[in-house]
Amino acid sequence: MNPLLSIKGTIISGFVLTAVLTFLHKGAVMPISMADYIRWFHYLSGITWIGLLYYFNFVQVPAMAKATADKEPGPAAIGKYVAPIALLWFRWGAVVTWVTGAAYLHGSGILHAAFTLQGSAAGIGIGSWLGTIMLFNVWVLIWPNQQKVLGLGKYKDSPASAEEVASAKKVALLASRTNTLLSIPMLLFMGYSHNGL
């Protein structure tokens, strides 16, 4: 069976390829430190999170607006089939990104200094705080409001009113746009040690 025919097979194959290439390059499966693996997983989950953030803002929101004007298939196809899966990966990508980032800072001995913006850790600390605000927005503003909009969770059996949905759309959009705005400086400051800020 071709592993590329399923997302699970593709992801597993990606990890296997990583192990093989690491072994060929360094001569062992674990030649680099655990901190390097945590940082790599932080990057991987961050790409998932920010990639979906950009997908929502640059692709799905404009597509939903156009689909609303089109009678067939309309926005229901995106809202029913695409958005729930994308939101699942989006919100858990945010959690894994934040947790692995905090673990990396802790392992590097700069977690406290970063979050208190002290000394040479102040730059990455700015990125960490921006990421923390973005994580908050995902779980406290975007996800609960998207549940109302899409009729998920407790709203599946008891849909929100038209007024609640309209308000939820606005809150989710503004929180998502705020995260898009914050992601720009966040990405620069997260690479602080490499950018020399």
pLDDT per position as a tens digit, 109-143: 999 999 999 999 999 999 999 999 999 999 999 99
pTM for this entry: 0.87
- At 92-111, the pLDDT tens digits run 999 999 999 999 999 999 99
191 vs 31, residue with greater confidence? 191
Handedness of CA 17, 19, 21, 24 (dihedral sign): negative
Whole-number pLDDT of residue 196: 53
Q: What is the mean pLDDT of residues 154-166?
A: 95
Backbone torsion region of residue 147, taken as left when φ is above 0, otherwise alpha when ψ lies between -120 and 50, otherwise beta: alpha
Give the chain's mean pLDDT.
Answer: 90
Neighbours of 10 (CB within 10 A): 12
Whole-number pLDDT of residue 169: 95
**Distance separating alpha carbons of residues 79 and 93, to the nearest angstrom:** 20
- At 76-92, the pLDDT tens digits run 778 888 899 999 999 99
**Distance separating alpha carbons of residues 152 and 136, to the nearest angstrom:** 20
Helices (H) and strands (E) in the chain, counts: 10, 0
Confidence check: pLDDT of 32 > 80 = no
